[in-house]
Amino acid sequence: MILEPIGLERLSEDALLPEITALHHAYDIAWFGEPEHDSDEVREWLELGNRHCVVRDDGRVVAVGNAWRTGSNVVIDPAADGPAAARLGVTWLRDVGAPDTEVLDRDTVLRDVLTAAGWRHAYSTFELCRTVEPSWERPEPSWPDGVTARPMEVADERRVHELIFQDAAWAEVPGHHFREFDEWRSIFLRGRRPADRPLLALRGERPVGVALPRLFSDGAGWVEQLAVARAERGRGLGRALLLAAFAALEHDGATKLGLGVLGANESALRLYLGVGLAVDREWQTYSSPDQELGLPAHTGGSA
């Protein structure tokens, strides 16, 4: 089993991207029962990072590592020699200075290797979802007095970025990260279909809340960000945005609906459970030993 650090240009080659997509499919089927990512979504995940590696066993790709500015992960084929691949991946993570890494809570092999190497669990993120079915009756959105909603326009983008990171103080929540406008736009807006347009809530002409929906290739309708200005909280605006975004995603063909939430965000978790979602999986973020020692992380690239 060998580890190969690889540049993004090679990851996009016709020969390698299908191998990595097949690896993701094997991972998804083993843990979740069906493939959840097509090749375009795998390519997008790779482009998020600026440091990559693959692990090969007898020439076959059995693991891929991806590290970006704010995190990293290692995807391992469950049919491979998990401990050996995990040890190579975790060594690579520390070599490139990844500040933390995300692992599925059920993946005890990778978690054990991380723990043995000195990584420590920092926080958890839950994915909540539910299959769209007639028995799941959701109420119509009820907007606070004086608030209207419409699809976001291109001209709104910078003001929405300000809403998320200033008015809603997104990055003040432990586990959330501040992103400059270009980075945020690249991650959450670039290449989206017209049906994925964010939903913007306004009081007069002032943006006070936003939901960023996305419909994935497997039929999952996802709200990638949901933000409400601090001055508008406690009036039901977050719930109205969530219900409206879910209704739009279902109209566009979503077969299941969901989102992610930090485990420590109890108020948001109550909101999502209250509209009928259920916890589907837990992702655990582990901090690198270098972070705990206060050593500087690798800063190459901007992802």
pLDDT in tens, 177-189: 999 999 999 999 9
User: Are the C-beta atoms of 32 and 218 separated by less than 8 Å?
Assistant: no
pLDDT of residue 236: 96
DSSP state of 165: I
Counting beta carbons within 10 angstroms of the beta carbon of residue 201, is it exposed (0 to 12), middle (13 to 18) or buried (19 or more)? buried
Instruction: Say whether pTM exceeds 0.85.
Output: yes
Answer left, alpha or beta for residue 194, where phi above 0 means left and psi between -120 and 50 means alpha: alpha
User: Are the C-beta atoms of 221 and 246 separated by less than 8 Å?
Assistant: yes
How far is the C-alpha of 197 from the C-alpha of 145, rounded, in Å? 24
Parallel, antiparallel or unpaired: strands 278-287 and 206-215: unpaired
Block residue for tokens 């043995």: 116
- In this predicted model, what pLDDT tens digit does every residue of 204-237 receive, in sequence order? 999 999 999 999 999 999 999 999 999 999 999 9
Tokens representing residue 284 in the block: 């655990």
- Helix residue ranges, H only, the chain: 8-11, 16-32, 39-48, 82-95, 108-116, 157-162, 181-188, 237-251, 266-274, 289-292
| Ranges in the chain, pLDDT < 70 | 12-14, 292-303
DSSP state of 174: B
- Helix residue ranges, H only, 138-236: 157-162, 181-188
Q: Which domains does the chain have, with CATH numbers?
A: 2-112 (3.40.630.30), 130-284 (3.40.630.30)
Tokens representing residue 81 in the block: 């020699």
pLDDT of residue 270: 92
b/e 108-124 (16+ beta carbons within 10 angstroms → b): ebbbebbeebebeebeb
Q: Which amino acid is at 156?
A: D
b/e 30-63 (16+ beta carbons within 10 angstroms → b): eeeeebbbeeeebbebbbbbbbbbbbbeeeebbb
pLDDT of residue 292: 55
Which of 53, 96, 91, 54 minimizes the C-alpha distance to 71?
96
5 Cβ neighbours under 8 A, 6+ residues apart: 51, 52, 53, 92
Neighbours of 73 (CB within 10 A): 22
